[in-house]
Amino acid sequence: MTDRSYDVPGLRTQVAIIGAGPAGLALARLLERQGIDSVVLEDRSRDYVEHRIRAGVLERGSVELLEEAGCAERLNKEGLVHTGICLQFAGERHRIDFDELAGASIVVYGQTEVVKDLISARVEPGGPLLFEVSDVALHDLTTSRPRVTFRHGGRNHELECAVVAGCDGSRGVCRGHVAPGVLQSYSRDYPFAWLGILAAVAPSNDELIYAHSNRGFALASMRSPELSRLYLQCRPDEDLATWPDERIWEELQLRLGLPGWELAKGPVLEKGITPMRSLVFEPMQYGRLFLAGDAAHIVPPTGAKGLNLALRDVGLLAEALVDFFIGGTSSSLGSYSERCLRRVWRYEHFSWWMTSMLHLPENANAFEQKLQVAQLRYTTTSSAAARTLAENYVGLAPV
Ligand code: FAS
Ligand code: PHB
């Protein structure tokens, strides 16, 4: 399938969307379904964004949003519905039952697949989505006619619009166009990272296992009945070259293994290191620029919230843009940032709580480790505490 490249001199649209990750692509689809025009600008290639391995867990709310965007057919066919996860510590493995505690489930379906589905839904009917753009710059954001300039196909282009959606992730450029002194950032860096692998082997457990151990955290996840996704806590400056496959499998077994339970091994298809960071920029809007997803906030992946929070943001933004372009009112656009940030901070807290409970910093003392085990034991034996984890994990906690 060839990507349609557009001759875009003097192009006009209603919404310029910067970034073709889950946030930008889902927003484009939600707007399209309401008859609102947008153009998506992405600086990487289609192949790159479709194969960038990231998140793996969708909240029920995210599945519903993708259904509303008309992109959930394969997800509903291939996604793995899970009604719980396991927490493991001190040689014990306990199940947190989402169905019993929160009356909900999650769906395991790789972010790569979400992105492929959203891109297909966009390009097949000819929706404007330009890959490999460069030099994106935003102009006149505090006027009613903002503009986006960029290079594509060796030519300079200008896109006139009414609104710019900054969906360009943690390393994007949109945030940098907010006037100095407007944005306030709040952050926490963690003294560890995740070394993640994708392996061609059937998952060793039906559900995810989050394991605390005195050697560090490990997570056993999956992508399909034939593909496992696993992570282990490592140093933030870890050198991947010092982790050959056999060392990774050995360490995963030491952290996840239980008497009589062996982790199945197989060919490692991909490995990488993900830094751990909590970061929020406030406000999430400036004039006609609206930030969504990682462009506005980052969470450590322990709570499986990054992708889900990005989709929550664009769900609110799409509703506000329908009010603006179709309803003729701008009040929900005016309160976009404040309404997003309530959920952002709930998800930031939950992600920090899961990360702090499960990861043993290298220089942790025995007292801190005892506190973690006490927290884990309480969370797995008290229905009140377990319900707190369940309702946050499935995305039903009040914000
Ligand atoms: P994204 O970063 O996905 O998309 C932004 C897009 O904008 C990218 O395609 C980028 O190429 C493009 N862009 C950037 N600058 C641009 C420019 N100047 N012009 C045009 N386009 C530009 N979350 C989880 O829940 N679980 C996980 O296990 C997990 N693992 C992760 C691993 C890594 C390495 C990273 C970085 C993140 C991980 N996350 C995880 C979080 C991740 O899933 C994000 O929350 C999610 O991708 C957010 O989606 P977007 O906001 O669309 O941002
Ligand atoms: C994943 O499958 O990639 C995954 C699952 C749960 C997490 C983080 C990552 O908390």
**Is 287 found in the same domain as 387?**
no
Q: Ligand 1: does its nearest atom lie under 6 Å from the Cβ of 18?
A: yes
Q: List the residue whose alpha carbon is closest to atom 2 of ligand 2.
A: 56
| Together in a domain, 47 and 140 | yes
Report the chain's mean pLDDT, rounded to a whole number.
Answer: 95
pLDDT score of 128 more than 50: yes
Q: What is the mean pLDDT of residues 246-259?
A: 98
Q: Is 393 a catalytic residue?
A: yes
Q: Are residues 31 and 123 in the same domain?
A: yes
What is the mean predicted confidence (pLDDT) over 204-230? 97
Do 195 and 172 fall within a single domain? Answer: no
Q: How confident is the model at residue 3 (pLDDT cuts 50, 70, 90)?
A: very low
The more confidently predicted of residues 363 and 91 is 91
Same domain, yes or no, for 63 and 171?
yes
257 vs 1, higher pLDDT: 257
- What's the whole-model pTM score? 0.95
- With a 6 A CB cut-off, is 216 part of the ligand 1 pocket? no
The pLDDT assigned to 5 comes to 39
Establish if 364 belongs to a structural domain. yes
Say if residue 287 is in the same domain as residue 326. yes
> Does position 399 have pLDDT exceeding 80, yes or no?
yes
Q: Are residues 19 and 123 in the same domain?
A: yes
Q: Do residues 224 and 316 both lie within one domain? A: no
Give the model's confidence band at 10: pLDDT under 50 very low, under 70 low, under 90 confident, else very high: low
Examine the domain organization and report whether 220 and 321 are in the same domain.
no
DSSP per residue, 324-392: IIII---HHHHTHHHHHHHHHHHHHHHHHHHHHHH---TT--HHHHHHHHHHHHHHHH-HHHHHHHHHH
Asked if the structure places residue 399 within a domain, the reply is no
Q: In a 10 Å sphere around its CB, with 0-12 CB exposed, 13-18 middle and 19+ buried, how is residue 323 labelled? A: middle
Q: Is the pLDDT of residue 288 over 90?
A: yes
Residue 149 scores a pLDDT above 90: yes
In a domain, 2, yes or no: no
- Residue 7 has a pLDDT of 42
User: Which of the following is catalytic: 301, 336, 347, 359?
Assistant: 301
pLDDT (average), residues 86-94: 97
pLDDT in tens, 154-198: 999 999 999 999 999 999 999 999 999 999 999 999 999 999 999
Q: In 3-state terms, what secondary structure has residue 15? A: strand
End-to-end CA distance of the chain: 42
151 within some domain = yes
d(CA 351, ligand 1 centre) in Å: 17
What average pLDDT does this structure show over 393-399?
94
3 state SS of 229? strand
What is the reported pLDDT for 362?
87
**Which pLDDT score, from 0 to 100, does residue 2 have?**
36
Domain membership flag for residue 237: yes
For the stretch 254-264, what's the b/e string if a residue is b when 16 or more beta carbons lie within 10 angstroms of its beta carbon?
ebbbeeeeebe
pLDDT above 90 (res 56): yes
pLDDT over 60 at 9, yes or no: no
pLDDT at 1 over 50: no
Per the domain annotation, does 3 fall within a domain? no
Shared-domain flag, residues 307 and 214: no
Please tell me which residue in 286, 336, 347, 393 is annotated as part of the active site: 393
Rounded distance between C-alpha atoms, residue 375 and residue 354, angstroms: 10
Output the domain CATH number for residue 146: 3.50.50.60
Query: What residues make up the domain containing 38?
Result: 9-76+110-186+278-349
3-state secondary structure 275-310: EEEEEEEECCEECCEEECHHHCEECCHHHCCHHHHH
CA angle 228, 229, 230 (to 5 degrees): 115
Q: Is the CB of 307 under 6 A from ligand 1?
A: yes
- Do 312 and 205 lie in one domain? The reply is no
Judge whether 297 counts as a catalytic residue.
Answer: no
- 71: in domain: yes
| Domain count within the chain | 2
Check residue 364 and give its pLDDT.
85
Domain CATH code at residue 271: 3.30.9.10
Q: How confident is the model at residue 11 (pLDDT cuts 50, 70, 90)?
A: confident
The protein residue whose alpha carbon is closest to atom 46 in ligand 1 is 307
pLDDT tens, residue by residue, 339-354: 999 999 999 999 999 9
CA–CA separation, 112 and 130 (whole Å)? 18
Residues 174 and 293 placed together within one structural domain of the fold = yes
CA-only gyration radius of the chain, Å: 21
Domain assignment present for 4: no
